[in-house]
Amino acid sequence: MNRIFKIFFVAACILVFGNKTMAQDVAATDTTTASTAVVAENSEKKSAEFKPGDVILAHIGDSHEWHFFSVGDFHASIPLPVILKGPNGFEFFMSSKFHHEGKDTSYTNNEGKSIEGKKLSNGYLMNEHGKISRPDGASFFDFSITKNVACMLLSVILLILIFTQIAKKYTANKNTAPSGFQNALEPFVLFVRDDIAKASLGHKADRYTPFLLSVFFFIWINNLLGLIPGSANVMGNIAVTVTLALFTFVIVNVSGNKHYWHHIVAMPGVPVALLPILTFVELLGVFTKPFALLIRLFANITAGHIIILSIVSLIFIFGQMSPAAGWGSSVLSVGFGLFMDCMELLVALLQAYVFTLLTSVFISQAVEEPHHH
């Protein structure tokens, strides 16, 4: 469950918690069962205690099911395919099999820690955090379609459908002005081509513009999908940002000319005594540039989700103190939550722009021709 839907769902939860607290207060006035009521109330409060850290980590993390929302005991979710390569070869099944056909079990791992989960007859176990493991310690490979993977596939399909249709319109109507969705996206395409690619790469821009456009729209559409209730936090997964930065790393260094590598390995005009130091710094910069790309994108998107969830969590935290405090804090929390959601719309576009811009700058440094004075 995500974003705006959570904010409205919070109000319903507060109402339920408030009524529950009032009922407990009435029951506690019965002098004949006072001690029993106090014990039951404390037990219920302990079991129903709101833990904001667990809620936030569950939201920004990945899972083997696409969860939309929960109302009481009803959970609206779609199980996703589990694909494992273990001692018995490839195994395919849906993640719901862990919950419907699995048996409650526990085992002690190599560190001596007891792990609870749902165990299948084939020996795999999923713990309460959705991590799959094997109690027997056998190694296996997990190729499962998780929530983040499913959302990425959805974004790729959307990008292919959108730009395929736009390309057909341009081909069929070469001498007419763009219209509809084509007209809405054309300014962004021209901006990436003219103000990012050509501004940094000059006459070599045409070679790298397709990659820059792909990166820009892939990051942007996944950031926007992450704002939809029930969607996935794709760019908040560091594995995704690492992969994008790895593409940039490969393209930059494969495209690097002799001039680029000469300045890294043996910078001209530098005293011989300083060459080892400068060479080390320049070689370090080869790796720190893509590292800065992946950390910036991952940290900004993750921080936005955490801030919004932290603001909404204040309603539950104050609501546990008293219903009045919960209702009072909900006004500010909902207001700030909506404000941060609007800010996230800007951040979604801004982070796509920054990643694309820096990528073009790094490529331009690698392909720049030497200047002779």
pLDDT of residue 113: 56
Residues with pLDDT less than 50, the chain: 1-47, 373
| Claim to verify: residue 120 and residue 232 sit in the same structural domain | no
Distance CA 129, CA 263 (A): 48
Distance CA 28, CA 297 (A): 52
pLDDT of residue 27: 35
DSSP-assigned letter for residue 135 = T
| Claim to verify: residue 133 and residue 156 sit in the same structural domain | no
pLDDT of residue 110: 52
Contacts of 330 (CB under 8 A, 6+ apart): 10, 11, 14, 315
Q: What is the dihedral of CA 305, 306, 309, 311, to 10 degrees?
A: -120
> Is position 159 within any domain?
yes
Domain residues for the domain of 338 are: 148-367
> Is position 363 within any domain?
yes
Instruction: Give whole-number Cα distances, 183 to 119, 179, 190, 359, in Å.
Output: 53, 5, 11, 26
> Is position 63 within any domain?
no
CA angle at 363 for the pair 362 and 364, rounded to the nearest 5°: 90
| Claim to verify: residue 138 and residue 188 sit in the same structural domain | no
| Claim to verify: residue 106 and residue 245 sit in the same structural domain | no
| Claim to verify: residue 357 and residue 208 sit in the same structural domain | yes
| Claim to verify: residue 87 and residue 230 sit in the same structural domain | no
* Greatest CA separation for the chain: 98
- Which of 144, 167, 183 is the last residue before a domain boundary? 144
> Is position 53 within any domain?
no
Count of domains in the chain? 2
> Is position 306 within any domain?
yes
Strands in the chain per DSSP E: 65-71, 74-79, 81-86, 89-94, 103-108, 114-119, 125-127, 132-133, 141-142
pLDDT of residue 371: 65
| Claim to verify: residue 100 and residue 247 sit in the same structural domain | no
pTM assigned to the model:
0.78
- Which of 100, 122, 144 is the last residue before a domain boundary? 144
- Which of 120, 144, 168 is the last residue before a domain boundary? 144
> Is position 5 within any domain?
no
- State pLDDT tens for residues 216-238: 999 999 999 988 877 888 998 99
pLDDT of residue 158: 94
| Claim to verify: residue 225 and residue 196 sit in the same structural domain | yes
pLDDT of residue 28: 36
| Claim to verify: residue 318 and residue 213 sit in the same structural domain | yes
Structure tokens at 35: 């001690």
| Claim to verify: residue 167 and residue 118 sit in the same structural domain | no
| Claim to verify: residue 157 and residue 139 sit in the same structural domain | no
pLDDT of residue 137: 77
